[in-house]
């Protein structure tokens, strides 16, 4: 009788645990098949194990909660802007894609570093809205950045920049941090963006130039002057519907404002001549910069007449070539209106990074420029793309060009190039 009372006392004590995992039914069915002493011992052992596991899980959760509470008490959670620099090679762009872990992005590594350094709670890594995360520009696959800015809320721990960088790969660096207003949004508050495009100057060679002699090409002063005169045509507000995909001529969003565009003086890297094109605009559409550059190259090489540039802003569809993605870099983002309104209020800093200029330059020299130069020399993406220019018909509309191209034999290397083309601005 005593054994029966002990058995049912144990059953009552662990009823909830057994009900959750279905063990109650199993226990009742097997109780008559085993000696009472053995059954009681098994039941008590299982109860203790389950209670131990539950207690261990509760302790872990309690420890995490305590650490977060301590951080919240010790460090204020504030809205900040982070200045980022990164080499995009090997990454599928800037923006994180939850659920697609095989496509690694810059934000994947950044968020992981924020969690490991103790700047944000662990659960914020899965739900970025909890930290009000926003990037200024979404760079695409392979594109690098020297002056990307993201805004978010985090704990202002000691030596925060150094601790974040400890958990980042060398090709991604946080170069600066500034406090901003609670309502600041790096994307919405951005007035303009400056991109650069580094390319071998052989892109501006005559169309009959021997592509096998790339390293010996040198850009003449007269050609550079003509290049810059053509780039200057882009300045102002124009309808760039031909410089992106799926934009109708009457779509207001196709009108974009360009303030600067020019090509700098050539320089030598690894015995090859390169130059850097800089373009600043209010905002850019998908592939817009690459197509702006591609069309000027087509004109310089003699495949198209200069008038095609102004014709591309009209309603008719024009076949505009898209230059390779390699070489595109987000140089800087601008917050002129924000600086004017809050930069002098005595509470917030101006979002300017003059003090970080040396660090930005050093990062580009160490990670961005070498990657572009070495990849271009090894893979020859510009030369391969130049061989596709004869396929374009710059005098016809895009529809006429497609019909004409259907009747042409397209080189195999061109098809191969298209299959591995990157999607970038």
Q: Write the CA distances from 408 to 198, 390, 393, integer angstroms.
A: 32, 11, 12
> Strand, coil or helix: what is 354?
helix
Distances (CA, A) of 219 to 205, 206, 223, 292: 8, 11, 7, 20
Pairwise CA distance, residues 47 & 19, whole Å: 12
Residue 268, SS3?
strand
Q: Which of 108, 140, 319, 393 is an active site residue?
A: 140
**Which residues does 325 contact at the CB level (< 8 Å), separation at least 6?**
140, 141, 142, 143, 290, 421, 422, 423, 424
- Measured CA to CA, the distance from residue 133 to residue 38 in angstroms comes to 58
CB neighbour class for 199 (10 Å; exposed up to 12, middle 13-18, buried from 19): buried
DSSP state of 136: S
- Pairing mode of beta strands 134-135, 172-179: unpaired
Which structure tokens are listed for 270? 């690894």
End-to-end CA, the chain: 82
Whether residue 290 contacts residue 141, with contact meaning beta carbons closer than 8 Å, is answered with no
Nearest Cα residue to 152 out of 230, 83, 212, 63: 83
What's the CA gap between 201 and 80, in Å, rounded? 40
Q: Tell me how far apart the alpha carbons of residues 422 and 404 are, in angstroms, rounded to a whole number.
A: 25
- Under a CB-based contact definition with an 8 Å cutoff, are residues 376 and 207 in contact? no
251 is catalytic: no
The label of the residue with tokens 């950044």 reads 110
* CB neighbour class for 310 (10 Å; exposed up to 12, middle 13-18, buried from 19): exposed
Residue 409 CA from chain centroid, whole number: 37
Q: Is 338 annotated as a binding residue?
A: no
- Token pair 């004409």 is found at 404
Residue ranges at the known binding site: 195
Residue ranges at the known binding site for substrate: 195
Q: List, by residue number, the catalytic residues.
A: 140
């Amino acid at each position: 009788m005593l054994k029966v009372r002990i058995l049912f006392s144990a059953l009552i004590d662990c009823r909830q645990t057994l009900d959750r995992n279905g063990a109650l039914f199993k226990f009742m069915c097997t109780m008559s098949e085993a000696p009472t002493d053995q059954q009681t011992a098994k039941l008590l052992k299982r109860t203790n194990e389950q209670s131990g596991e539950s207690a261990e899980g509760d302790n872990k959760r309690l420890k995490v909660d305590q650490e977060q509470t301590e951080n919240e008490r010790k460090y204020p959670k504030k809205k900040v802007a982070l200045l980022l620099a990164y080499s995009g090679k090997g990454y599928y762009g800037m923006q994180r894609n939850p659920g697609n872990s095989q496509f690694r992005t810059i934000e994947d590594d950044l968020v992981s570093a924020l969690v490991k350094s103790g700047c944000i709670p662990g659960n914020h890594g899965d739900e970025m809205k909890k930290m009000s995360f926003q990037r200024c520009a979404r760079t695409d696959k392979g594109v690098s950045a020297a002056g990307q800015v993201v805004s978010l809320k985090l704990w202002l721990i000691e030596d925060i920049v150094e601790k974040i960088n400890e958990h980042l790969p060398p090709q991604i660096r946080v170069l600066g941090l500034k406090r901003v207003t609670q309502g600041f949004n790096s994307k919405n508050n951005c007035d303009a963006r400056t991109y650069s495009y580094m390319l071998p100057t052989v892109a501006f060679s005559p169309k009959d130039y021997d592509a096998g002699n790339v390293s010996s090409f040198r850009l003449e002063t007269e050609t550079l002057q003509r290049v810059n005169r053509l780039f200057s045509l882009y300045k102002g507000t124009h309808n760039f519907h031909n410089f992106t995909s799926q934009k109708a001529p009457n779509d207001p969003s196709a009108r974009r404002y360009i303030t600067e565009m020019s090509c700098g003086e050539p320089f030598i890297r690894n015995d090859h001549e390169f130059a850097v094109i800089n373009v600043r605009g209010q905002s850019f559409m998908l592939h817009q910069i690459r197509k702006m550059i591609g069309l000027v190259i087509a004109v310089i090489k003699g495949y198209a007449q200069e008038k095609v540039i102004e014709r591309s802003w009209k309603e008719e569809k024009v076949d505009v070539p898209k230059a390779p993605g390699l070489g595109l870099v987000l140089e800087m983002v601008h917050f002129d209106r924000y600086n004017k309104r809050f930069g002098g209020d005595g509470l917030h800093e101006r979002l300017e990074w003059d003090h970080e200029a040396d660090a930005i330059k050093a990062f580009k020299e160490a990670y961005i420029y070498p990657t572009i130069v070495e990849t271009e020399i090894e893979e020859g993406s510009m030369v391969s793309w130049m061989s596709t220019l004869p396929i374009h018909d710059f005098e016809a509309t895009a529809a006429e060009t497609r019909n004409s191209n259907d009747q042409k034999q397209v080189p195999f290397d061109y098809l191969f190039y298209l299959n591995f083309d990157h999607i970038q601005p």
